[in-house]
Structure 1
């Protein structure tokens, strides 16, 4: 998981829009073999200021809020009490649990949320948050080796970029690049060939070509050097 976390940090550092961050994390989640991710941050100075970013099924997000599952969710409870990343398995948490928790996990199971990785993090002014990856296959956790320090560093950087994007109010429309478009364009700007980028990003040559073509279209550039110049000037990479 160390390589995945480092790649996430590299990519996150050049993201300039919330959409790009969402695209990036969703694709990265699937590359690691998980289906869903969730980022939640609570500002301790203003408890009504809750920031979330997630690709959980809408019906699960609605049930979670309506049922106020956050009040007794054992994964969330553990995240509030510890400061390091941990793995969780719904089957283990169900044993000896009360009816409300069993109901919550049964609903989660129906939507393929059965196990996962949780990474709690702290921010300034006693703010707290959690980043989570979930899977329908608990066996997926067996091959994972968590790095507590790198996990927190990666998620804290992700939080910082999300906060920065939310605070930016551009005076004029800026082209919106997806996470993959921005990342491939960044590597290209550093002189990497498409084959180099494919190897670095663990993807195919055709995928790199696809993202660069779409990046040029989004930036209304005729050539790749022109696209990287425009993206650099606009602060997109």
Structure 2
């Protein structure tokens, strides 16, 4: 996988199981100088994650519900823009929970990284993090915000599609771009508005929605949204 955010989108388009996605994200992380990746979806007190962190750290993180205080997560959600972070900026003294989090993260090789957040549906937040054991992360190759958002959403919707594969026939599965346009339609965006927020040509947006309608046997976009919600695709 080459060192370009667009390669994540291409990989997600072709992936038919989580193993392929994990392998692709690992290669991407390495090409950008990172060692680990983590996909997170937070909604209130709920967390869904798909990552390559050490299992012991995953158990600690989830068991302690560290996503509530994780500075990378809280700052990314607050700013809703790509951020770089380093454990050097986190509290190193005292007896606080945040200090304990810092110590345990460093112990398990999570010292710096880059986090790309995106607003999800129904008040959720979706983010993709690349982490390193080095003291400082390089954010220079993540400057294209629109491409970063597309990469995160491609992973997000491919994982949802794979999860729904047991209840939706394979021929009816949506591509990440089709799912992305459907997501904005579910939020009430029309074709020109979806084109504006995604950077995709309006005619191409319409093409993706038409493909999605055919795959889900929907006559209209509102019916498409309703069917997709029934199957947990949006």
Q: TM-score range by the shorter chain?
A: 0.5 to 0.7
In structure 2, relative to structure 1, the CA distance for the partners of 1:12 and 1:65 (3 Å cut) is same
Choose between structure 1 and 2 for higher RCO, CA contacts under 8 A separated by at least 6 residues.
1
Deviation at residue 79 of structure 1 after TM alignment:
2.1
Query: Match for residue 115 of structure 1?
Result: 112
Contact 2:93 2:99 in 1 (8 A): no
The reply to whether residue 138 of structure 1 matches residue 126 of structure 2 is: no
**Counterpart selection for 1:52 from 45, 49, 54:** 49
Which SS does the other structure have where 2:159 is aligned? Answer: helix
- Classify the secondary structure of the residue corresponding to 2:138: helix
Distance in 2 separating the partners of 1:101 and 1:88: 15
Give how far 1:36 is off.
0.8
| 1:39 aligns to 2:36 (yes or no) | no
- Segments of 4+ moved more than 4 angstroms: 95-98, 142-145, 170-173
Q: 1:159 aligns with which of 136, 150, 156?
A: 156
Select 1:65's aligned residue among 42, 62, 67. 62
Q: Contact (CA 8 Å) 2:114, 2:137: kept in 1 or not?
A: no
TM-score, normalisation: structure 2: 0.64
Cα deviation per residue 1:76-124 (whole Å; 9 max; x = unaligned)?
Answer: 2112212211100110223678622121111111111100001111222
Structure 1 unmatched runs, 5+: 174-237
Shift of 1:18: 1.6
- The match for 2:76 is 79
Paired with 1:97 and 1:79, the residues of 2 have a C-alpha distance of: 25
Q: Secondary structure of 2:38's partner?
A: strand
Q: What root-mean-square deviation, in Å, do the aligned CA atoms of Structure 1 and Structure 2 show?
A: 2.7
Unmatched 5+ residue regions in structure 2?
Answer: 171-234
Deviation of 1:162 after TM superposition, in Å, equals 0.8
CA gap 1:157/1:97 in 2 versus in 1, 3 angstroms: farther
SS in 2 for 1:112: coil
- Counterpart CA distance in 1 for 2:66 and 2:103 is 13
Cα distance in structure 1, aligned partners of 2:134 and 2:141: 13
